[in-house]
């Protein structure tokens, strides 16, 4: 039985946030939505401050509170470990967002626009391309995925529904790596099947100690952190996220 | 007739509630995708109808015309 | 004599549309219309027109004023039917004049709560269908949706109808423009001993079965918040009981206000004596004592020990950004409690003071509901996000105001269609 998990090597992560960029391009998310987010943290008092970086995708928890609370079953966990959102069924109550201890959910507050890659319907695009080269739309984002045949890939489809990191379900089903994993220049992100003994992630599991975020919440996340240390009470972000819808 | 109808409405209402809650909505203890889908679509509507039947029996009990009171 | 005949036509002011009433109704319609406009903006442009935003990186609160009022309205509805049922079960005949307005309050308040939930959905039409189609009982929200909105609302409507039949039958005997409606509501009621016996039995059993469902339904609303381990300040076993108690407080407060207004409006004495208000005052006082006990327990626990995040949320409430809401809500709940205790000890009750207490506890209840919802979102993130902020926009205020106006409008119309105070046994016939 396949069981996907992600390993984050905090000793390697340099806070470049290329993974955030790749995620936004692959999944076509709108402004101020960060399915993959990298905390740039500092702790301690000057001059003894320490800096650290903490990538935070959706944790795809085994005991996901968001799955438990969804009133209509739009948020669900697959047998292969992915926690996905059926954006056709979602009623936009945002209960999953509140139940999640990690803050990975994003609600489409307005008609989705200002995407990272391209707003396909934007009138300005025509002026640039002259209509000759149609902008690239990833066709995988509009099709049903999985044995369950539900619309779960990509973000910013329409207003009024909640979305979050899908471990790039559209890529995983084609045996590709999620966009963030594929992009990381220092190999800080590793993705694979932890049940498969020969996979790199299973190897990391056996060789090195790891921790998971907010273990005391009982969510049993599928994202494993190697090296580094969990954020402490003293950790604070170096800069704030200015963007809001 | 009146009493029989009332009691049967309550019984059917409660039965609908129990059956839909435990048997027809999203299965309890199921893992994976099954946990997010009801066994029968509109099972919650059945539940609500059951609740309404159970309470609606009071309406029947009071408002059934006297000519049905043969027993 | 002509005035007496006019008034004797339909008792309790039914059918008499005074100028004051008409102006009031028009004002309520105007406010409701403003709310409709605001909601249409929200529906077409998306919920970005509200002040709500995502928790986490966006530093907002994703549930705000709407959920505050969902909880508030469902809470107010609790007291209405509970008091009506208590009057019935314990045969508190001197309180009978309260029964109908309490039932009406419950029904109206629940409808407002349901509308407020729909207003808070990103996909409202889809929501209304998908909830009936796919709702999962494993979600705490299932109880709110099925038991509260569908079950308890329907049960209260049944109760209201059954207890209104007799009065409607009496009114249907007189010619009036509303006779058709009175006949429908009366549904063939004949004031025979057999019918009265049936009515007594039916309402007794209805009353007994509604009460436990009420407590269950309200507790599930508390569980919506109390089971979320990821939200410091929410995750507490006290949420459900505290919800139920504050619901009783605020509902009784609204009932006091409503009873005072009705007493003013009635052309003559309908039994809403100071003793009736005193009973309501004592009921509210007892519930307030319990609620203050819960509040103190929660505060002691939160300030004595807690995770850093819980302590932070508590700090924001006591001394930080939310302190003004916190302390004014506490004041609005504790001051009436002191006043009620004094009146209770001296056994001298003042209706104006009771009405003021009713208003105060309701404002306090809204504040407390807001404090349950918002600080845990803006300041209760378990990961090191920067603290957020939330303030409702005019859209949210307008929608909430229109809900309140709509409720007042429905009650106002009800008063002119059916007697808001039960007709006495010997009949105003």
Rg of the Cα trace of chain C? 23
CA distance C62 to C82: 32
The residue whose two tokens read 């819960």 is C294
Tell me if C137 and B21 make a contact (CB, 8 A cut-off): yes
> According to the model, what pLDDT value does residue C5 have?
37
Residue B32 has which token pair?
């994976």
Q: Which residues pair with A191 in a beta bridge?
A: A6
25-84 in chain A: CB under 8 A from chain B? 67, 70, 73-79
> According to the model, what pLDDT value does residue A103 have?
95
Rg of the Cα trace of chain A? 18
Contact of A30 with A159, CB cutoff 8 Å: no
DSSP code of residue A135: P
Contact of A90 with A105, CB cutoff 8 Å: no
Cβ burial A120-154 (10 Å sphere, 16+ → b, else e): eeeeebeeeeeeeeeeeeeebbeeebbebebbbbb
At A75, the pLDDT band (50, 70, 90 cuts) reads very high
Residue C390 has which token pair?
């939330």
CA distance C172 to C164: 12
Tens-digit pLDDT profile for residues A84-123: 999 999 999 999 999 999 999 999 999 988 776 666 667 7
The 3-state DSSP class for residue C269 equals: coil
The class (CATH top level) of A4-232 is alpha beta
Q: Write down which chains contact chain A via at least 3 CB pairs under 8 A.
A: B, C
CA distance A70 to C229: 15
> Order of strands across the sheet with A236-237?
A50-56, A37-43, A236-237
The 3-state DSSP class for residue C138 equals: coil
> According to the model, what pLDDT value does residue A116 have?
67
The residue whose two tokens read 């049960």 is C155
> According to the model, what pLDDT value does residue A118 have?
62
Tell me if C150 and B55 make a contact (CB, 8 A cut-off): no
Which residues on C lie below 8 Å from A85 (Cβ)? none
Tell me if C46 and A237 make a contact (CB, 8 A cut-off): no
Tens-digit pLDDT profile for residues C319-362: 999 999 999 999 999 999 999 999 999 999 999 999 999 999 99
Helix count and strand count (H, E) for chain A: 7, 11
Q: Is the pLDDT of residue C107 over 70?
A: yes
Which residues on B lie below 8 Å from A76 (Cβ)? 32-33, 35-36
Rg of the Cα trace of chain B? 16
Residue spans of the domains in chain C: they are 13-224+231-417
Q: What are phi and psi of C137, to 5 degrees?
A: -70, -15
Q: Is the pLDDT of residue C418 over 70?
A: yes
> According to the model, what pLDDT value does residue B57 have?
94
Residue spans of the domains in chain A: they are 4-232
Mean pLDDT by runs of 10 across the 71 residues of chain B is 91 94 87 89 93 93 78 52
CB atoms within 10 A of CB C168: 23
Tens-digit pLDDT profile for residues C220-262: 888 888 888 778 877 777 877 888 899 999 999 999 999 999 9
Instruction: State chain A's mean pLDDT as an integer.
Output: 91
The 3-state DSSP class for residue A4 equals: strand
Which residues on B lie below 8 Å from C136 (Cβ)? 25-26, 35-36, 38
CA distance B16 to B21: 8
Which residues on A lie below 8 Å from C57 (Cβ)? 32, 34, 37, 103, 241
Q: Is the pLDDT of residue A244 over 60?
A: yes
CB atoms within 10 A of CB C260: 17
> According to the model, what pLDDT value does residue B31 have?
84
Dihedral sign for Cα atoms in the order A135, A140, A141, A144: positive
Q: What are phi and psi of A210, to 5 degrees?
A: -145, 165
CA distance C427 to C170: 8
Under CATH, what is the fold of the domain C13-224+231-417?
Answer: Formate dehydrogenase/DMSO reductase fold (1.20.1630)
> According to the model, what pLDDT value does residue A8 have?
97
Instruction: Give how far Cα A187 sits from Cα of A18, A40, A176, Å.
Output: 12, 18, 15
> According to the model, what pLDDT value does residue A121 have?
65
Q: What are phi and psi of C261, to 5 degrees?
A: -65, -45
Tell me if B25 and C135 make a contact (CB, 8 A cut-off): yes
Contact of B49 with B21, CB cutoff 8 Å: no
A35 touches chain C (CB under 8 A): no
Determine the residue among A2, A3, A72 to mutate to test chain B binding: the one whose Cβ has the most chain B Cβ atoms within 10 Å: A72
DSSP code of residue C422: P
Of C266, C28, C214, C199, which is closest to residue C106 (Cα–Cα)? Answer: C214
Secondary structure of A193-219 in HEC code, one letter for each residue: ECCCCCCHHHHHHHHCCEECCCHHHCC
Q: B-side interface with C, Cβ within 8 Å?
A: 21, 25-26, 28, 35-38, 41-42, 44-45, 47-48, 51-52, 54-56, 58-59, 61-63, 65
pTM: 0.93
Closest CA in chain C for residue A52:
C384
Determine the residue among C62, C372, C377 to mutate to test chain A binding: the one whose Cβ has the most chain A Cβ atoms within 10 Å: C62
The 3-state DSSP class for residue B33 equals: helix
Contact of A166 with A105, CB cutoff 8 Å: no
Which residues on C lie below 8 Å from A63 (Cβ)? none
Tens-digit pLDDT profile for residues A171-220: 999 999 999 999 999 999 999 999 999 999 999 999 999 999 999 899 99
Determine the residue among B39, B48, B53, B54 to mutate to test chain C binding: the one whose Cβ has the most chain C Cβ atoms within 10 Å: B48
C183 touches chain B (CB under 8 A): no
Q: Is the pLDDT of residue C375 over 70?
A: yes
CA distance B68 to C363: 52
ipTM: 0.91
Size of interface A-B (CB pairs under 8 A): 27
Instruction: State chain C's mean pLDDT as an integer.
Output: 89
Contact of A201 with A188, CB cutoff 8 Å: no
Strands A4-9 and A223-226 turn out to be parallel
């Amino acid at each position: 039985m396949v069981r996907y998990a992600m390993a984050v090597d905090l000793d390697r992560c340099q806070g470049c946030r290329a993974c955030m960029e790749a995620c936004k391009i692959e999944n076509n998310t709108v402004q101020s939505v960060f399915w993959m987010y990298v905390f740039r943290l500092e702790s301690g008092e000057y001059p003894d401050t320490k800096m650290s970086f903490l990538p935070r995708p959706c944790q795809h928890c085994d005991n996901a509170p968001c799955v438990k609370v969804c009133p209509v079953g739009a948020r669900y966990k697959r047998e292969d470990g992915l926690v996905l959102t059926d954006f056709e069924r979602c009623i936009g109550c945002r209960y999953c967002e509140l139940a999640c201890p990690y803050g990975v959910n994003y609600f489409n507050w307005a008609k989705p626009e200002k995407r990272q890659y391209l707003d396909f319907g934007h009138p300005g695009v025509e002026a640039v391309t002259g209509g000759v080269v149609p902008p690239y739309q990833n066709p995988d984002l509009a099709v049903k995925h999985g044995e369950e045949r539900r619309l779960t890939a990509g973000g910013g489809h329409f207003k009024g529904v909640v979305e979050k990191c899908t471990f790039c379900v559209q890529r995983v089903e084609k045996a590709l790596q999620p966009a963030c994993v594929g992009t990381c220049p220092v190999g800080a992100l590793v993705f694979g099947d932890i049940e498969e003994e020969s996979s790199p992630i299973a190897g990391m599991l056996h060789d090195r100690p790891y921790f998971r975020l907010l273990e005391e919440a009982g969510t049993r996340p599928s994202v494993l952190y190697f090296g580094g240390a969990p954020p402490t009470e003293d950790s604070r972000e170096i800069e704030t996220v200015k963007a809001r819808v | 007739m009146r009493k029989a109808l009332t009691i049967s409405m309550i019984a059917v209402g409660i039965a609908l509630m129990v059956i839909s809650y435990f048997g027809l909505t999203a299965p309890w203890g199921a893992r994976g995708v099954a946990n997010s889908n009801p066994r029968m679509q509109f099972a919650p509507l059945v539940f609500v109808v059951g609740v309404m039947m159970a309470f609606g029996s009071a309406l029947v009990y009071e408002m059934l015309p006297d000519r049905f009171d043969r027993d | 004599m002509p005035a007496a005949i006019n008034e004797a036509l339909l008792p309790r002011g039914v059918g008499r549309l005074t100028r004051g009433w008409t102006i009031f109704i028009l004002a309520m319609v105007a406010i409701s219309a403003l709310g409709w406009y605001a909601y249409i903006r929200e529906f077409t442009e998306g919920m970005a027109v509200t002040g709500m935003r995502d928790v986490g990186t966006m530093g907002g609160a994703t549930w705000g004023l709407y959920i505050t009022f969902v909880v508030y309205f469902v809470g107010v509805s609790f007291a209405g039917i509970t008091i009506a049922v208590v009057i019935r079960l314990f045969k508190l005949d001197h309180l009978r004049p309260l029964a109908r307005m309490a039932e009406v309050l419950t029904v109206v308040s629940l409808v407002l709560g349901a509308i407020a939930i729909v207003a808070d959905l990103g996909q409202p039409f889809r929501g209304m269908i998908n909830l009936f189609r796919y709702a999962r009982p494993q979600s705490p929200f299932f109880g709110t949706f099925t038991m509260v909105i569908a079950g308890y609302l329907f049960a209260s409507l049944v109760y209201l109808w059954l207890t209104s039949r007799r009065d409607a039958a009496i009114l249907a005997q007189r010619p009036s423009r509303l006779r058709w409606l009175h006949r429908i509501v009366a549904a063939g009621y004949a004031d025979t001993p057999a019918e009265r016996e049936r009515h007594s039995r039916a309402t007794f059993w209805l009353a007994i079965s509604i009460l436990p469902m009420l407590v269950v339904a309200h507790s599930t609303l508390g569980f919506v918040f109390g089971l979320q381990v990821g939200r410091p300040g929410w995750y507490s076993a006290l949420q459900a009981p505290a919800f139920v108690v504050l619901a009783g407080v605020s509902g009784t407060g609204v009932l006091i206000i409503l009873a005072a207004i009705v007493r003013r409006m009635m052309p003559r004495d309908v039994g809403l004596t100071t003793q009736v208000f005193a009973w309501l005052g004592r009921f509210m006082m007892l519930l307030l004592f319990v609620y203050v006990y819960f509040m103190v327990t929660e505060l002691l626990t939160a300030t004595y020990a807690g995770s850093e995040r819980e302590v932070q949320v508590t700090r924001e409430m006591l001394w930080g950004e939310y302190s003004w809401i916190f302390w004014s809500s506490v004041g609005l709940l504790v001051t009436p409690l002191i006043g009620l205790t004094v009146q209770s000890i001296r056994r001298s009750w003042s209706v104006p003071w009771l009405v003021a207490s009713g208003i105060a506890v309701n404002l306090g209840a809204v504040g407390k509901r807001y404090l349950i919802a918002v600080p845990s979102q803006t300041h209760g993130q378990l990961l090191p996000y920067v603290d957020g902020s939330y303030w409702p926009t005019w859209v949210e205020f307008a929608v909430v105001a229109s809900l309140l106006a709509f409720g007042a409008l429905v009650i106002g119309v009800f008063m002119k269609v059916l007697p808001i105070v039960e007709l006495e046994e010997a009949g105003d016939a």
